[in-house]
A and B are shown apart, each in its own frame.
Chain A
């Protein structure tokens, strides 16, 4: 069965500095991996997705993530944080072609310091 672990419940960075949100996954088959962002009182927005194409995935708002099979990781990065990036971020795993169940991590709250 698949699972996903977000290693930090809270991350604080200063505006203009790099962002790193860590995610490890477990999957018996070929996983698809996603990052979603949730702003307060808003729905979930897809940031980026990995579905077995290029291992370095670029998403919206300058975010990107790298799929590393050997490390079972899919960390989310951004070179320079902006105040508007403050939100909750969820790493998600699913096994395409299997039961397609989608498993969310518990989330990482990103705080941006002025």
Chain B
């Protein structure tokens, strides 16, 4: 079992650009959640996807959007990047009926210059 995988590992972008991060869930899981972890902070919930739809969302602007594919993998898109978007982006997968039990990937480190 490969667990949750994320790509890329690191990414450097400039202000105003757009970025796409990818996540493959743990085998058998159907729900994917995304978190932003700023340096020295705990992860902040961005949104969760199930059955290719956004199931719930945290307090993040519309610049943050996502997608879930039929194979349950997911993408996080961020438009019009700001310096403050620099963070570790974590993906977590779960089963919808026990969506509070999440397995995390290693994260993607995004740096915005």
Residues of chain A touching chain B, judged by Cβ–Cβ distance below 8 Å, are 32, 36, 42-46, 49, 51, 90, 94, 96, 99-107
Contacts and interface: CB of A to CB of B under 8 A. Distances in A.
A43 B101 contact: no
Contacts of B42: 90, 104-107
Contacts, number: 45
Interface of B: 4, 33, 35, 40-45, 48, 56, 58, 90, 92, 99-107
Nearest to A106: B42
4 closest cross-chain pairs (CB), A and B: A104-B42, A44-B104, A43-B106, A94-B100
- Among B42, B48, B101, B102, the one with the most A-chain Cβ atoms within 10 Å of its Cβ is B42
B33 A102 contact: yes
Given A106-B41, A106-B42, A101 B56 contact: yes
B41 A100 contact: no
Nearest to A45: B104
Contacts of B48: 100
B99 A43 contact: no
